[in-house]
Structure 1
Amino acid sequence: MKIITKISVQEKRKDRYNIFLNEKYAFSVDEAVLIKHNLVKGQQLTEEDIEQIQVQEEDQKAYGKAINFLSYRMRSTGEVFTYLKEQEVEEHVIQQILSKLMENGYLDDLAFANAYVRTMMETTDKGPNVLKQELKLKSVSDAKIEEALLNFSEERMIEKVKKLAEKVAKKQRTQSAKMLQLKVEEAIVKKGYPAYLLGEVKEEFEEQGMEEEEEWARLVTQGEKFARKYDKFEGYEKKMKLKQALFRKGFPLHLIDRYLEEE
């Protein structure tokens, strides 16, 4: 049997206390552990009592780590679980911590998913399909993901898809109309937007009008580039190489033939 002969507050951590047993420093505890075990000067502790206090202290430290992890930004339950696992906290303790965090309002996967979708929608080009996969990786349930994705209205998707199409078109301005459309469609699908929205973009391109002379200007730019590349070839061989290269780029044959006749 040992007696608590002194309890002192740590200088740098006012929420932690040093415990002295039989006039010697024994261990330190969090304020929550001190209160839970009602530790006071003169109290007698068995070895079993000390062991229980220290186990509780380790659990409290793990809880503190979780709180600190949550202090930087919102997290999903799955993210906190993975973090504590990496900190070598035992799984049964992690489950207790997660339950306590949820009871205290620190963890809410639906609130997290809603905030995640809104933030990504405002700050990135990512579409709902990509966001769905990212939330799955954070172990958010399918039901909560589907509810959170309701934040991403069809009107907003169309708006973002059109902006994405404009961005791609600007970068690919020397491409043929056909190749440009393929690049835009590829970007839309890759960014996680529903395939049916491709029709919205296609209509917009048609409205903007890929006039033949505009297509011709693009072809000439690409043709000059390939002409330099195949400069070492002459006559028919050079024309065939140019024709194949321009066709692969998606330009129509009648414009390619026109270019080769003028080249």
Structure 2
Amino acid sequence: MTIITKIQVQKVNKERFNVYTDDGGGEEFAFSVDADTLVKHNLKKGLQIEQYEIEEILHSDQLRKAYLTSIVYLSRMMRTKKEVELNLEKLEISPDAIRNTLQRLEDEGYLNEEQYTISYIRTCINTTLKGPIIIQKELKMKGISNGVIEKELKEFSTEKQVEHAVRLCEKKLPAFSRYSTLQKKNKLEELLSRKGYPSNIISILLQEVEFDNDEDDELQTLLQHATKLQRKYEKFSEWEYKQKMKSALFRKGFSIDLIDRALDMLDDQLN
């Protein structure tokens, strides 16, 4: 038989108590509980207690700790079940206590995956230019099921996706001014794909965006590239020089007609 020999308030946390017992081998620290568990189980000095009772007390204390910790965690912002679970695991709460706590939180309405998903998607739509694919990946990482995500992502309509994609492209287009129209389109396509927009939205977008590249602007951009390439290929014979220049400029997205004009202009400058 084990006897409680001393109950002492913890120095760091005044809400918790250290319980000491003696089973015949001398007094030693046995476990700690909070004030509620102490009162609930009527723990006091001199009480005889069995091992199975200690296990029940510890389980009860873990349940209370897990629940109260989760309520504080959820009070700061909405969380998913997975986020709460990971937080409890860090506190070394037992798997059984975690399962019971998550179920209780769901039953009491503190955890609601659908409400969380709706709120998360609306926040992304209102404050970011992320595409639906990125949002979907982020929600999956937070433990939301595919079924819930697909259902709530309908909130992000095609029209709204196109609107966001256009804003994203207009924001980035000035940085692509030194590129050909084809290069700009390719870079925007890469950007939109990286930001999580599906191919159907990208196709619509590339038709919507105004690139503002008339032939003169395109020619000036081409000449800038050609001047740089000229220094690279001037050591070759005239025929090889022109073939390498045409090939390099064509790969950058310029038309053959415009390339020929630019090369003629460079020749005139040399002569």
Equivalent positions of 1:66-215 (< 5 A) are 66=70, 70=74, 73-84=77-88, 89-205=93-209, 207=210, 209-215=212-218
SS of the residue aligned with 2:14? coil
- When residues 38 and 224 of structure 1 are mapped into structure 2, their CA distance, relative to the original with a 3 A threshold, is farther
SS of the residue aligned with 1:100? helix
1:66-113 Cα distance to aligned partner (Å, 9 max, x none): 556656653321233345456665433331121123234432222322
**Greater shift after overlay, 23-32 or 44-53?**
23-32
**Greater shift after overlay, 164-173 or 79-88?**
79-88
Shift of 1:255: 0.1
Contact 1:168–1:183 at 8 Å: present in 2 too? no
Shift of 1:249: 0.8
- 1:245 counterpart residue number: 248
Q: State the distance in 2 between where 1:184 and 1:2 align.
A: 73
5+ residue gaps, structure 2: 267-271
SS of the residue aligned with 2:248? helix
Q: State the distance in 1 between where 2:91 and 2:13 align.
A: 22
Contact 1:4–1:19 at 8 Å: present in 2 too? yes
1:254 matches 2:257: yes
Contact 2:63–2:100 at 8 Å: present in 1 too? no
**Greater shift after overlay, 174-183 or 35-44?**
35-44
Q: How many residues align?
A: 262
Q: Which amino acid aligns with 1:240?
A: Q
**Percent identity of equivalent pairs:** 40
1:156-191 Cα distance to aligned partner (Å, 9 max, x none): 322210122123322221111112112212222232
- 2:31 counterpart residue number: 27
Shift of 1:8: 4.3
Q: Which amino acid aligns with 1:212?
A: E
5+ residue gaps, structure 1: none
Shift of 1:136: 1.8
1:185-216 Cα distance to aligned partner (Å, 9 max, x none): 222223222323234423333x5543111211
- 1:15 counterpart residue number: 15
Shift of 1:31: 3.1
- 2:60 counterpart residue number: 56
Shift of 1:252: 0.7
**Greater shift after overlay, 86-95 or 193-202?**
86-95
- 1:224 counterpart residue number: 227
Contact 2:106–2:112 at 8 Å: present in 1 too? yes
SS of the residue aligned with 2:32? strand
CA RMSD, Structure 1 to Structure 2 (Å): 3.0
**Greater shift after overlay, 172-181 or 151-160?**
151-160
Q: State the distance in 2 between where 1:139 and 1:173 align.
A: 41
Shift of 1:131: 0.9
